[in-house]
Each structure stands twice: as C-alpha cells, then as structure tokens.
Structure 1
Amino acid sequence: MCILYLQRYLRTVLSYFLPRLILFLSFIDLFFHFTTIARFAELLKSSSYMIGVIVAIYSISNFAGNLISGIILDRWGRILPVKFGLFLSSVTVGSYYFVNSVMQLFILRLLHGISSSVLVPGAYAIIGDILKNKNHGSVMGITGAIIAFSAILGSLSAGLISEFISVRFVFIVDALMLLLGFCFLLIYSRNLEQYNVLAYDKESFAKSSSSLFDALKKKLIISYISIFLMSIGVGLLVGRLPLLFEDNDMYRGISFTIYAIVALFVMISPIVKKLNKINLIVFGLFSLSLSFLIIGFNTNDFIWIFIGMVIFGLGYGSLFPSVTSIVSENTDKFIRGKSYGILYACYSGGVVVGSNYPALLEYLFGNNSLNIGFEFYLAFAILLFSGLLIYRFSKTNNYV
C-alpha cells in the first residue's frame, strides 16, 4: 500500500516537474542570450544597426511563432510539438558556436525564435491541463518563481562563462541543457497521460479547428493587455539600464538580480494564492508605473535606481502569475494552447516595443530635445492610465 502511494506521489511530482523543467530551460535560454548576443554580434564586427536587428529578430520571429504554435498545440497535442521545439532549439543554439558571419547569426536568430516559440505556451498548456479545478494561483506562483530563478541563474551563468571561458562556449552549455531536457521529456512524458493532457487524436483535431478569435474572451484580453504592458517595461529596462550604468557591468547585473529576487519571493508568497487576480494585476501595473517614475527622476543615482528595481520586482511578481492563472482558469483544453500562444506573443511583442520605442522617440523629437528620463516618465503615464482603465473595466464586468 505504501509503495503504491509512493509511486503515485512520485508520478504526480514528475508530472508537474516536466512542464516546469521546460519553462526553466526556455527562460535560461532566453537570459543566456539577453546577456551575450549583443556582445557576440559585436565580436563578429556587426554595425550598431545590425546588432539591434540581430537582437530584435529573435523576438519578432518568436512573436509570430507563438501565434502559430498555439494552433499547433491544440491540434496536434502538447507533447509532440514541445519535443520537436526542444530538439530543434538545441540544434539551432549549438550551431551558434560555428557562426563566422553576421548573416549566419541573423539566420540562426530567426530560426531560434521560431523553434523556441512552442516551448513556453506548450509548458503552460500542460500545467493547465493537469490543474483542472485545483488552486491555479498557488501553482502558477511557484511556476513563476522558477522563471524568476532561471532569470537570475541564466544571467549570472552566461556572464561568468563568457568572462572566464568564451562567449561561444555559452551556446554549447545552452544547447546541451536543451538537449538534456529533450531526452528527459522523451523518456518520462508518459507520466502526463494520467492527467488527460491533450494528445493528438481525431477529437482534438476537430475541436481545435477554431480560430485564434475563440481565445479572445473579455477576461483573457485583460491578461493579454497586462502582460504586453509589463513586457514593455522589461524591454525598456533591458534597452536603457545599460546606458544609465554606462560601463559599470556589476551595477547593471545587481539591478536585474534585485528585481528577479523580489519577484521570486512575491510569486511564492500566499499573496498570489489568496487575493483576487484582477486586483493583483492592477496592483502590479501601479507598482511598475511607480518604479519607472522613481528611475526617471533619479537616472544618475544608483541607489534610487535599485529602489525602483525593487518596486518593479514587486509589480512583476504580482502580475505574472495572475495573468497565467486567468488564462488557465478560463480556457478548456481545446483553446488553451491558442490562449497561451497569444499571451506569450504579447510578451514577446512588448519586449520589442519596450526596447525600441526610446529610439523612435529620439528619431521623432531629436536627441537634445528630450530629457534623459523622458522614456521612463512616458512608461509611468501609460502603465498608470492602463491600470486605471483595467480596474474600471473589471468593475463594470464584476470581475472584482
């Protein structure tokens, strides 16, 4: 009896572990490249313009891939597309090691964005299938904390490997981790069958033939808009914080680590389990807006920037598990893949917008006509106004 109980318990643990492993590897991969890809492009003698293009093409192709992968996940099941995505991503990332030209790097970045686009929506769709009527907030909070931990570990590891070995070796480590994840999923994916995780059959293909518009319920739209706004903030920080810290790599690393650690602790706290998800989203947007106001007023004061990053982490930690919980709770398994595909496409699109809109402002108004903190003030206003609109919309529809 005890042995049977232990076996059942281990199968349950493994079933939650598999999609979380996929998310961990996906975000480790993402933050490995956040840290190293611009430097690698520079080593290949890329121009400043091409470095920007090479950084952006991953998110652009990932955005398109997310939308398509959502349909694939609902039609062909979760496991097969995720296996394919892990394997192709490991091959693509491993190929970075052999790159000798800017064009080769551009092509690989394009393929990498497409191949990895199925991983995050697929992992979240698997978790949603497993959860059914269980506490979505608690599980999504822990899952979000794993992502925050991968952000810390990915940035730190990539920096150390590139500093003490080489930038190219970062890609080998990344590829091996993705390949190990593929092998692990290949061996243990049968454990997911007991939870009725969507697999490829005639029923799933027929029922999932609906369009992306079926994943556009009112409450889901709140999640999509909120994560888009949040990721604009992430993109803004990725693009502008290095300029504020100039050549001080240590402070830049500390600032991102601060926000990730704060977000991690918020995600594993009882807050995300007990409070209304819409209230957490609104609180998250207000916190993000406040963080940008603080940073905008104190662009030359590192202490205040760190305080701003603490508040940003508080907002991120409140918002991220809430939007993923709403999608999980308000979809059935035949549109869940599409919904998470749209959600993560909004994330990718927001990062692109956030990292590039300051350059657009400079182009439109000129470098000298804008205060150095103007992009942060604008982000503050947009996030604050959006939070108020979402709260008003939610009150009107009795979501809070």
Structure 2
Amino acid sequence: MRQSPIDYLRIAGIMDGISLLTLLFIAMPLKYFADLPLAVTINGSIHGVIFMLYMCTILYTAIRIQWSIFWSLAAVLVAFIPFGNFILDSYLKKAQHRYPVKPFQASWIVYSIIFFSFIDLFAQLPVMSTFATSVGASAFIAGIAVGIYSFTNSFGNIASGILTDKVGPLSMMLFGLGTTSASLFTYHFINDPMTLLIVRSFHGFFGGLIVPAAFTLLANTTAQHEQGSKSAVTGSFVGIAAIVGPAFSGIMASKTSVPYVFSLVGTLGFILLVSSFLFRKIHIKKKKREEPRVSFKWNRDVQKAFMGAFFLMFSQGALAYLLPLHVESLGYSSRMSGTLMSMFGVVAVLLFILPTNRLFNRVAPAYTLLIGVGVLAVSQILIGQMTTTWTLYLVMALYGIGFSCLFPSINTLLIQSTTPETRGQAYGYFYAFFSIGVVVGSSLLGFLQIGITGGFMLAGVVLTAFLIFIFFDIRKKEKNEKLSDLSIK
C-alpha cells in the first residue's frame, strides 16, 4: 500500500513530540539540577533538526493533501506544546482516509522558497541585537548590525531585479537561495563586531536576491484572472513566517545558540534548493532573441505600487519600534509585544487563505489599496491611545485587516502595470522600497524623539497623507477614463 503524506507527517510529528519531551523533562533538569548543560546542547540540537524536518513535512503534506489550512496551522502550534503532537496524531489517524492526495504543483516550491526568505528575516528579529552585544558590539554597533541587513538587502533586491530580466527568474531565485543558505552558516565564524558587520552585509545582499525573482516567477506563471488571489496566497506564506519565525528563533536560541538557529534555517534553504532541482517543472515562455529589448517604465500604477510598498513597511518599522515601548510603558510583560504581533499576523493569514482572498480578483487593486492604507492609518493612531489588553489585541486585529488588504493590492497593481520582460526589474525596485521603508519607519521616529503616542500619531498622519494622494489619483484616473470614453463616442 502506498504511503500517504499524512503518514510521513505523523511519523515526523511523533519524533518532534518525543524530542521536545526529552528536552523539557530530561535534558533541562540535568542542566539545572545536575549541572550538565551539555545535555541541553545535545538534545536541543537534535530537537532543532527534527523540528525543521517536521516543518518541511507539514509543508509537503499541505501541498499534496486536499485539506483545510487549519490542519497545517494546528500541526505548527502543537510543536510548541508538550504532548501536543500525540494528541494531533490521534486525530490525524482517524481523519487521514478522508483526504485524497492531489498532484504536486511546482509553484508550491516557489511559495516554500518565499517562506524561507521571510522566515530567515523574521528569525533575526528577537536575537540579533543580543547576539551582537555577545560578540563585543556596543549598543551603537549592535544597532548598525541590525539595520545593515536591510540596507544591503535593498541593493540585493535591485541587483536581482536587473539580473532576473537577463538570466531568468528561476536561475536567479535558485542562485539567491543557495548563497543565502550558505551565508547563514558563516555566523559560526563570528567572534568580533567587524566580522559580524561583514557577515550581515553579505547575508542581507544575498537574501535580497531571492524575493524579486520568486515573485516575478509566480507572476509570469499565473493566469491574469488569478493574480489577486495568488498574491493573497503568497501573503499567507509571509504571514506564517512572521508568526513562526520569531517564536522559533527565540525559543531555539535560548536552548542552543544564535549561530545554531541560523544553521537550521540554512539547512531548510539547502533542502529547498535540492527539492527545486528534483521538481524542476516550471515552464516559462522565453522571449525570442530577435525581439527588441523592452525598457522598464515608471508609469503611474508602478509608482503607486512602489509607494504602497514603502508605506506598508514604514508602518511595520514604526510598529516594531514603538509597540514594545508602548507595552512596556503600560506595565505589561515584554512577551505581550510578541503575541500582539502574532495577532495581526494570524488575522492577515486567515484573510489570505480563506475564500475572502477571492475579493482581490473581483475588486480593482487601487480600491483595496485605498482600504488597506486607510485601515492601517486608523490602526496606528488607535494603538497609541489603547491602554488595556483587550483593546490592544482588537486594534492589532484591525491592523491585520489593513495589512491583508494592502499587501496583495500592491503586488497585483505591480503585476498588472508591468510586462514579463521588465517584471524582474520592477520587483527589484519594489522590494528595495520595502527594505528602505522599514529603516525609515523605525529610525525616523527614533530620531524625532516625539514620544510613543506622538510616534503612533505621526505614523498615522503619514499614512493618511498617502491615503489622500491615492484617493485623488483614483478620482483623476476615473475622470480621464470618462473623458476618453466621451471623446470616442
């Protein structure tokens, strides 16, 4: 009898559950009560490898099995709960006969690589500043070490965009995947601040090569009428990475070390690289050599997509900088900042993967862009006013709605306003604006020193200004289209 992907998931889940229990109830007591820290090091390393294999198995099962996304989310969540894997296994055993196996689609490899790129990014957030100080960096140098990744990442985005149009998105994506995975292992060689800055620079640049090529590949192989919903699906992988990445790195770094965490992420990258060659069935229509080269045009819709990318990540940068300070000022635990971030991520992912993603096929991206910016602006203003736990979670859920509207909108807008011949370069600039937006959002508010409430208010005002610009731009475009129709008649 042929094995089902659920069988592999169950085996990996049991292994993950056992390794978690031995870590919590054997290795940790040996460390703290018998003075044997090596037990945690060894068991933690084994658990980390099994955890990454388990994540890959969840992804493979989701690709091959026609089941609800909630099964996949449950499989991820139980990995952090003692005995959770065993409880899930009993449900999987009863339910697996109801789910047929579907053909493998090569586009899921691209989605997986996008997930890798963003989990690489989000896994850095909780651990990089403390890792920098552990190798002798001052507070100032630690800040540079955090920011230099985004700085060099923007150059990688632009380089990837230009090269994608020349050598093809698939080749560029795989090259970026390989070099990024290799760079993650170099953190083991860091012993001083200067080496850290060099490694961070290369890591950021190579990481910037993946996303423009991957998004270009998806755009060029997706039907026009499905661009909106496919952009939402892509956003779900980004959202899941935003939820899993910080929790995974924070927990694993506390049990092992930061370089070891990055090595695990690098291992995932190499697994995907090998998988990409094994399942290399993505076909792209190549342009004929004799055709004249098409130049990239900064038209109005492209500019709106770039501005949307910048202000989306400006909002994210402001949130990442101000939210922990706001939570701390209210007297809550710093752990609450992470759960609040997870709240917006969970809401966004649900809207991406539920039938609501069809909205992005039916409504023009300019209108969903307008809605998304408006919701984010209101959310930023409200966050600074909220003082209770339940209201903070409510506003962060609202923020998630805004994010889920804005992210697919700017992607769809960019796809519809570019051609396959220039889309790589467009995505290169697009994600460079992403990187710059994060840096500006956090550093500008830190530089102005206008307080927490003032910072949230300013972020909301900036987004409102962008909202007004988009509104009048849409009105102007509609007016021109009406005049054009009248002239034709």
If the length of structure 2 is used for normalisation, what is the TM-score?
A: 0.73
Does the residue aligned with 1:192 lie in a helix, a strand or coil?
coil
**Is the contact made by 1:262 and 1:310 (CA closer than 8 Å) also made in structure 2?**
yes
Q: Output the amino acid matched with 1:337.
A: G
In 2, distance between residues paired with 1:111 and 1:272? 36
Q: Select 1:375's aligned residue among 435, 451, 455.
A: 455
Instruction: List per-residue Cα deviations over 1:222-277 (Å, max 9, x = no partner).
Output: 11101111100111111222222338232011011001011112223233332221
Q: Output the amino acid matched with 1:373.
A: T
Residue 307 in structure 1 maps to residue 398 in structure 2: no
Residue 259 in structure 1 maps to residue 350 in structure 2: no
Residue 335 in structure 1 maps to residue 422 in structure 2: yes
In 2, distance between residues paired with 1:203 and 1:303? 62
Q: Output the amino acid matched with 1:292.
A: Q
Q: Which stretch of the first structure deviates more once superposed, 54-63 or 131-140?
A: 131-140
The CA deviation at 1:302 is 3.6
The CA deviation at 1:325 is 1.2
Percent identity over the alignment? 26
How is 1:109-124 mapped onto 2 (pairs within 5 angstroms)?
109-124=200-215
In 1, distance between residues paired with 2:317 and 2:217? 27
Question: 2:473 — aligned with what?
Answer: 393
Residue 295 in structure 1 maps to residue 383 in structure 2: yes
Query: Which protein, 1 or 2, shows the higher relative CO under an 8 Å CA cutoff with sep ≥ 6?
Result: 1
**Is the contact made by 1:86 and 1:178 (CA closer than 8 Å) also made in structure 2?**
yes
Q: Which stretch of the first structure deviates more once superposed, 42-51 or 115-124?
A: 42-51
**Is the contact made by 2:181 and 2:267 (CA closer than 8 Å) also made in structure 1?**
yes
Question: 2:173 — aligned with what?
Answer: 82
**Is the contact made by 2:322 and 2:452 (CA closer than 8 Å) also made in structure 1?**
no
Unaligned runs of 5+ in 2: 1-63, 65-100, 482-489
Query: CA 1:174 to 1:313, structure 2 compared with 1: closer, same or farther past 3 Å?
Result: same
Instruction: List per-residue Cα deviations over 1:318-341 (Å, max 9, x = no partner).
Output: 000111111122221110001111
Does the residue aligned with 2:225 lie in a helix, a strand or coil?
coil
Aligned residues: 375
The CA deviation at 1:28 is 0.8
**Is the contact made by 1:97 and 1:171 (CA closer than 8 Å) also made in structure 2?**
no
In 2, distance between residues paired with 1:133 and 1:236? 34
How is 1:136-155 mapped onto 2 (pairs within 5 angstroms)?
136-155=227-246
In 2, distance between residues paired with 1:203 and 1:29? 40
The CA deviation at 1:133 is 2.6
How is 1:14-163 mapped onto 2 (pairs within 5 angstroms)?
14-163=105-254
Instruction: List per-residue Cα deviations over 1:258-298 (Å, max 9, x = no partner).
Output: 01011112223233332221111111111111111111223
Q: Output the amino acid matched with 1:271.
A: L
Q: Select 2:464's aligned residue among 352, 367, 384.
A: 384
In 1, distance between residues paired with 2:177 and 2:418? 25
**Is the contact made by 2:326 and 2:384 (CA closer than 8 Å) also made in structure 1?**
no
Query: CA 1:129 to 1:343, structure 2 compared with 1: closer, same or farther past 3 Å?
Result: same
Q: Select 2:255's aligned residue among 164, 175, 178.
A: 164
Runs of 4+ off more than 4 Å:
10-13, 201-204
In 2, distance between residues paired with 1:112 and 1:139? 28
In 2, distance between residues paired with 1:134 and 1:288? 27
**Is the contact made by 2:313 and 2:435 (CA closer than 8 Å) also made in structure 1?**
yes
**Is the contact made by 1:215 and 1:338 (CA closer than 8 Å) also made in structure 2?**
no
In 2, distance between residues paired with 1:305 and 1:361? 24
Residue 275 in structure 1 maps to residue 366 in structure 2: no
Does the residue aligned with 2:252 lie in a helix, a strand or coil?
helix
Question: 1:366 — aligned with what?
Answer: none
In 2, distance between residues paired with 1:226 and 1:79? 26
Q: Output the amino acid matched with 2:469.
A: L
In 2, distance between residues paired with 1:372 and 1:32? 26
Residue 221 in structure 1 maps to residue 312 in structure 2: no
In 2, distance between residues paired with 1:45 and 1:240? 26
Structure with max Cα Rg? 2
Question: 1:249 — aligned with what?
Answer: 334
Question: 1:207 — aligned with what?
Answer: 293
Question: 1:367 — aligned with what?
Answer: none
Instruction: List per-residue Cα deviations over 1:59-117 (Å, max 9, x = no partner).
Output: 11111221121110001111222111111111111111221111111111100111111
**Is the contact made by 1:96 and 1:168 (CA closer than 8 Å) also made in structure 2?**
yes
In 1, distance between residues paired with 2:188 and 2:476? 54
In 2, distance between residues paired with 1:18 and 1:388? 39
Instruction: List per-residue Cα deviations over 1:107-141 (Å, max 9, x = no partner).
Output: 11100111111211111100111014331111111
Question: 1:365 — aligned with what?
Answer: none
In 1, distance between residues paired with 2:290 and 2:118? 32
Question: 2:32 — aligned with what?
Answer: none
In 2, distance between residues paired with 1:13 and 1:243? 45
Query: CA 1:154 to 1:326, structure 2 compared with 1: closer, same or farther past 3 Å?
Result: same
